[in-house]
Structure 1
Amino acid sequence: MLEIGIVGGSGYGAIELMRLLNQHKEVKIKYVFSHSKSGDDIKETYPHLQDNINVPFSSLDVDKVDCDLIFFATPSNVSKHFIPKLIKRGIKVIDLSGDFRLKDPAVYEKYYGEKPAEQSVLDEAEYSLAEWSNINKNSTNVIANPGCFPTAILLSLHPLLENNLINKESIIIDAKTGVSGAGRSLSQNAHFGEANENFSAYKIGTHKHTPEIEQYLSQVSGSDIKVMFTPHLVPMTRGILATIYVDLNEHMTGEALYNLYSKIYEEKPFVRIRALGELPKTKEVLGSNFCDIGIYVDEERNKAVIVAVIDNLVKGASGQAIQNMNILYGFNENEGLNLLPVYP
């Protein structure tokens, strides 16, 4: 039985980890770490977990912790202070924050406004979009779990760039997220009075997921990729919808592009390609680890529109982290994640 710990235990990402891991046949939750709530019972903060998660909140002591794997479900600028010592002690780590996603420390400092992690650990960390993962139990010690926006966007664009089907300078991304993407901490734009009946673009040109998207796409294409990425906040709790516009390199029918996506993802259980003429909605993946993708080709203008939806807290965070854990340890990739979406 794999023994795990969860850091950032009072946040949304950690709560989703507990919900999903509670039904995982191969793991045991040994620790739930939360500095601010150390010593409290989890049910005092989250009554819906009573009788299921019986581990009290505690503080992380890297010299005393004893388990196989630790998830960091924390904001940025936390995990990088603990992970180097943990991996020296033989404890593997899956980091849901952004501390190890970017390989260039100067880019991290520019977009996150903080000092980067140790370069040696940055070099060692494996960025793992689960469907295209290179992680290996024998050599991988740190997994950088992708961000929520990048997950939907990269799953949409990977087939196009891998097959050199688009003008690489034409990528325009319009993406929407629910307020849970901001985390559980108080912020003005997530207050009910600010978010309700409101719809806003934010951080155009400065969003920290932009370099993450560009880094991955550049690796896939073998050339420097820049994108135009505009995120929006919408008045819902969960969900991301990304609409991506690209110019095709050659004439292609909608059926041909649909067939390409279907073939590429037919063996990947959590990516569902919707039938031609059918576009996915966020409600259709709520509470699940699915990414649903819809495809439209404007044959007259030789352009394609890709629409992807995910639950930002599951496929965009904790679900994908568990999927990466399953891959790392050779478990069934579906284990703990074989859940239908919640509807309506």
Structure 2
Amino acid sequence: MPAKVKAALLGASGYTGADLLRLGVLHPGLDFVALTANTHAGKPMSSVFPHLSSAKLPDLVTNEAVEWTDVDVVFCGLPHGASQKIIVEILEASPKTRIIDMSADYRLRDVETYAKWYGAPHVSPEWQKKAAYGLTEHNRDAIRTAPIIACPGCYPTAVLLALLPLVGAGAISTEDMIIDAKSGITGAGRGLKQNTLFAEAGESLSPYSIGSHRHGPEIEQEIGKAAGAEVVVNFTPHLIPMSRGELITAHVRLGSARNAAELRDILAAAYADEPFIRIAGRSEMPATGHVRGSNHALINVFDDRIPGRAIVVGAIDNLVKGSAGQAIQNFNVAFGFAETTALEALPLFP
């Protein structure tokens, strides 16, 4: 087993940071030596997340207080915009340090596309070119050596795991893709927002960012790469009143495949050796409750009542496989640990 890896977590007071620590403290090769949260600097982690009080974790500090040359890997859980700036500072101070970024700052390969969707120019196009897209099951070779691993967004993770093998095989068309997606409220972050207050979000299901969600171009980038052509998808996210979980329903036109059974066979073959991806039985309906708290993804395909079309359904936990768990999975690949290390827990139910 590789030696202990000294790790820093930036943005440790967010939901993603909390889940990364929940999983990571059990990793035999991870040693968290620095946790940052500028607004909570000086506090013990237990005061921000009492459920982590039994873990032996360092107190929170500011980003500026971390000595980057003492750190082997940095997990970055900061918002987009803030991540790219500090990542450049880290790599300039300590080129040997690996970055696993959970923000959107290094996901889009085209910096002009980034500027269009995130409202500001990318500050480090030269580092963007060296970043690997961190969808583990589909990009392991690049992840092993890249200085920056850009973990996908939660929605793209669910969508791409369900569709990439089908697109790559030509089994479905990339035209007329309609993706209906639903996420638990933690997907909106821990900051105070009116639409995530209990009185606003409880007992209410609502779409948001219709036709303008930033995960749309990320989905199109990766599907387009698999298809070898530019792709435009119809992607609509929804906020659903539960704390965690994500379900995507993709309505697709058939390509070379004749029906859902053939699509299911392609997915089963593609993921036969993957520890975290399960293709459901023929009549099993994927549900967020079947993957809650785990790094698992559950996928199934159904025939549409419209001839020549199929419905692909995928479920993940947005905080685990959609973020923190995938970050640890990428860490395992990058640092030579067994890929399932610290991620073996089965889903919680009920």
TM superposition score category, shorter chain reference: over 0.9
Aligned to 1:197: 203
Per-residue CA shift, 1:182-230, capped at 9, x if unaligned?
0000011100010011111111111010010001111111100110001
| In the alignment, structure 1 residue 318 sits paired with structure 2 residue 291 | no
Per-residue CA shift, 1:83-112, capped at 9, x if unaligned?
123223121100000011112222212211
Aligned to 2:288: 282
- The alpha carbon displacement at 1:136 in A equals 4.8
Structure 2: distance between partners of 1:244 and 1:153: 8
What pairs up with 1:87-166 in 2 under 5 angstroms? 87-88=91-92, 89=94, 90-136=96-142, 139-166=145-172
Aligned to 1:339: 345
Q: Is the 8 A contact 1:254 1:299 kept in 2?
A: no
Structure 1: distance between partners of 2:248 and 2:165: 16
Aligned to 1:38: 41
Structure 2 gap segments, 5+ residues each: none
Per-residue CA shift, 1:289-319, capped at 9, x if unaligned?
0010011124870211100000000000000
Structure 1: distance between partners of 2:336 and 2:232: 35
Q: Is the 8 A contact 2:291 2:297 kept in 1?
A: yes
After TM superposition, the structure 1 stretch with the greater mean CA deviation from structure 2, 107-116 or 72-81, is: 107-116
Alignment TM-score, normalising by the size of structure 2: 0.95
Structure 1 gap segments, 5+ residues each: none
Structure 2: distance between partners of 1:22 and 1:335: 11
Aligned to 2:17: 14
Q: Which one of 45, 49, 58 corresponds to residue 61 of structure 2? A: 58
Report the CA distance shift for 1:78/1:267 in structure 2 as closer, same or farther (over 3 A).
same
The 3-state SS of whatever aligns with 1:6 is strand
Structure 2: distance between partners of 1:138 and 1:17: 20
Aligned residues: percent identity? 38
Amino acid at match of 2:290: E
Amino acid at match of 1:60: N
Aligned to 1:221: 227
Structure 2: distance between partners of 1:140 and 1:180: 29
The 3-state SS of whatever aligns with 1:266 is coil
Report the CA distance shift for 1:249/1:322 in structure 2 as closer, same or farther (over 3 A).
same
Per-residue CA shift, 1:94-142, capped at 9, x if unaligned?
0000011112222212211223231101111111201112445774100
4+ aligned runs moved over 6 Å, structure 1: none
The 3-state SS of whatever aligns with 2:311 is strand
